[in-house]
Chains A and B, each alone.
Chain A
Amino acid sequence: MLTKRIYVCENSIECIFTGIYDAWASNYGHDNNRIQVEESNNEPETMELFSEYIHVKTDNEKAIKVANSIRTKISEEAFQMVCSAAWSCSSKKGDIIYRFLILGFSMGSKVVNHMGDQNVMMIFELQRNVTYEVHHFLGFLRFIESDSNILLAKIKPQNDVLRLIAPHFSDRLSNENFIIYDEKRKSAIVHRSGYSWIYTLADHLDINKFEEYSEKEQEFTSLWQTFFDTIAIEERRNYKLQRNNAPLRFRNNMTEFKN
Chain B
Amino acid sequence: MIIEENMSVQKKLEILSDAAKYDVACTSSGVDRKGTSGGLGNTVAAGICHTFSADGRCISLLKILFTNECIFDCKYCLNRSSNDVVRASFTPEEVCVLTMEFYRRNYIEGLFLSSGVIKNPNFTMELLCETLRMLREVHHFNGYIHCKAVPGASSDIIEMTGWYADRMSVNLELPTAEGLKTLAPHKTRKNILKPMKQIQIGRNELIKPSTFIETNRMSGYAQSISVFDMNSIESEQDQPQILREEANFSLSKSKSELSIRDKILDTNMTGYDSEYSLGKVRRPSINRGFVPAGQSTQMIIGATPENDYQILSVTEALYQKFDLKRVFFSAFIRVNEDTSLPVLPGGPPLLREHRLYQADWLLRFYGFQAAELLSEERPNFNVLLDPKCNWALGHLENFPIEVNKADYYALLRVPGIGVRSAERIVKARRTAKLRFEDLKKMGVVLKRAIYFITCSGQMMHPVKLEENYLTNQLVGMKERLPFGLSGDISYQQLSLFDDLKFMNQNININ
* Residues in chain A within 8 A of chain B (CB atoms): 110, 113-116, 118, 121, 135, 138-145, 151, 153, 168-169, 171-176, 194, 220, 222-224, 226-242, 244-246, 254-256
B54:A232 contact, CB within 8 angstroms: yes
| A223 vs B482: C-alpha distance when bound (angstroms) | 30
Contact (A115, B13) CB under 8 Å given A236-B57, A256-B51:
no
20 A-B residue pairs with Cβ-Cβ distance under 8 Å, sorted by A, are A110-B431, A113-B428, A114-B431, A115-B427, A118-B441, A139-B60, A139-B106, A140-B50, A142-B106, A143-B106, A172-B143, A174-B35, A224-B107, A228-B59, A240-B483, A241-B56, A241-B483, A242-B52, A242-B54, A246-B51
- Taking the closest CB of chain A, its distance from the CB of B300, in whole angstroms, is 13
B431:A140 contact, CB within 8 angstroms: no
Residues of B1-36 contacting chain A, CB below 8 A: 9-10, 13-14, 17-18, 20-22, 34-36
Residues of B415-466 contacting chain A, CB below 8 A: 424, 427-428, 430-432, 434, 438, 441-442
Secondary structure of the A contact surface, majority rule:
helix
- Is B168 on the interface with A (CB-CB < 8 A)? no
| A131 vs B38: C-alpha distance when bound (angstroms) | 29
- Taking the closest CB of chain B, its distance from the CB of A108, in whole angstroms, is 12
Contact (A139, B428) CB under 8 Å given A223-B9, A231-B17, A231-B59:
no
* Residues in chain B within 8 A of chain A (CB atoms): 9-10, 13-14, 17-18, 20-22, 34-42, 44, 46, 48-60, 62-64, 98, 101-102, 104-107, 109, 143, 331, 333, 347-348, 350, 424, 427-428, 430-432, 434, 438, 441-442, 482-484
Partner of B13, one of A172, A227, A242, A254: A227
Sample of 6 further A-B pairs with CB below 8 A, known A135-B48, A231-B20: A115-B438, A169-B106, A171-B34, A223-B13, A235-B333, A235-B347
| A223 vs B18: C-alpha distance when bound (angstroms) | 13
A139:B51 contact, CB within 8 angstroms: yes
| A246 vs B58: C-alpha distance when bound (angstroms) | 9
Contact (A176, B35) CB under 8 Å given A115-B438, A241-B56, A244-B56:
no
| A172 vs B105: C-alpha distance when bound (angstroms) | 11
B107:A255 contact, CB within 8 angstroms: yes
Q: Which residue of A lies closest to B432 (CB)?
A: A116
B107:A231 contact, CB within 8 angstroms: no
Partner of A172, one of B35, B49, B53, B60: B35
Contact (A175, B9) CB under 8 Å given A231-B53, A246-B51:
no
Partner of A114, one of B17, B22, B348, B432: B432
B350 proximity list for chain A (CB < 8 A): 236
B58:A245 contact, CB within 8 angstroms: yes
| A254 vs B18: C-alpha distance when bound (angstroms) | 22
B348 proximity list for chain A (CB < 8 A): 235-236
B9:A238 contact, CB within 8 angstroms: no
Partner of A244, one of B34, B38, B98, B483: B483
Contact (A227, B62) CB under 8 Å given A171-B35, A172-B42:
yes
B331 proximity list for chain A (CB < 8 A): 236
B107 proximity list for chain A (CB < 8 A): 142, 224, 255-256
B483:A233 contact, CB within 8 angstroms: no
| A239 vs B21: C-alpha distance when bound (angstroms) | 17
| A138 vs B10: C-alpha distance when bound (angstroms) | 27
Partner of A113, one of B50, B53, B104, B427: B427
| A114 vs B442: C-alpha distance when bound (angstroms) | 10
A232:B10 contact, CB within 8 angstroms: no
A144 proximity list for chain B (CB < 8 A): 105
- Taking the closest CB of chain A, its distance from the CB of B53, in whole angstroms, is 4
B54 proximity list for chain A (CB < 8 A): 229, 232, 237-239, 242
Contact (A226, B59) CB under 8 Å given A115-B427, A245-B49:
no
B18 proximity list for chain A (CB < 8 A): 230-231
Q: Which residue of B lies closest to A257 (CB)?
A: B51
Partner of B482, one of A113, A143, A241: A241
B44 proximity list for chain A (CB < 8 A): 138, 168
- Taking the closest CB of chain A, its distance from the CB of B233, in whole angstroms, is 30
B106:A141 contact, CB within 8 angstroms: yes
| A240 vs B197: C-alpha distance when bound (angstroms) | 40
B428:A115 contact, CB within 8 angstroms: yes
| A194 vs B37: C-alpha distance when bound (angstroms) | 8
A233:B22 contact, CB within 8 angstroms: yes
| A230 vs B143: C-alpha distance when bound (angstroms) | 23
Partner of B424, one of A115, A140, A151, A231: A115
- Taking the closest CB of chain A, its distance from the CB of B330, in whole angstroms, is 10
Partner of A115, one of B98, B106, B441: B441
Most buried by A among B9, B46, B484: B484
A171:B104 contact, CB within 8 angstroms: no
Partner of B38, one of A175, A228, A236, A237: A175
